Amino acid sequence: MFLNFFIGEIMTFNLKRVSMLLVAILFTGACSSTTMIRSTDAAAQIYVDGNLMGTGTATHTDTKIVGSTTNVRIEKEGCMPQNYSFSRSEKFSAGACAGGVFVLVPFLWIMEYNPEHTFHYTCQAVAGAETPAKSKKK
């Protein structure tokens, strides 16, 4: 009889731990959003919120709340930088909605980024600077 009680307690304890772990994973995963940022110029550098993320293509992940704006600057040596932005209000997040039913806080992350953002970048020469195309012709 005691053994059955002991085994029942162990199983209940493990079930609670597993449940808490799954909830933590659900909330953590539901709060972050990832998007692929692409430039039409594969040699252009991509800056996200002032940080260099890559050349031509970059992946961006964050845990900003709904409506937050992310700034993107695309630049290339000898060319004028071009600025873009996107907002975390592009795609519905079912995971955050499910979490929000139980605890209201996840509703702050109920929207996600689109999976991909492509920005058109054309080199507009900086006054007095040579563009990469001009320097190749010499």
Q: What is the pLDDT of residues 26-83, one digit of tens each?
A: 555 558 889 999 999 999 999 999 999 999 999 999 988 888 999 999 999 999 999 9
Q: State both tokens at 116.
A: 């991909």
Pick from 14-28, 33-47, 91-105: least confident:
14-28
pTM over 0.75, yes/no: no
Q: Which of 133, 118, 128 is nearest to 38 (CA)?
A: 118
What SS3 class is residue 37?
strand
* DSSP 3-state of 135: helix
Q: Where are the beta strands (DSSP E) in the chain?
A: 33-39, 45-48, 51-55, 57-62, 69-75, 82-87, 91-92, 111-112, 116-119
The pLDDT confidence band at residue 138, using thresholds 50, 70 and 90, is very low
How many distinct structural domains can be found in the chain?
A: 1
Domain contains 128: yes
Q: Amino acid letter at 1?
A: M
In a domain, 138, yes or no: no
What is the C-alpha to C-alpha distance for residues 96 and 110, in angstroms, rounded to an integer? 5
Does residue 112 lie in a domain region? yes
Domain assignment present for residue 60? The answer is yes
pLDDT above 60 for 86: yes
Helices 2-31 and 94-102 cross at an angle (nearest 10°) of 130
Confirm whether 108 is domain-assigned.
Answer: yes
Is residue 119 situated within a structural domain?
yes
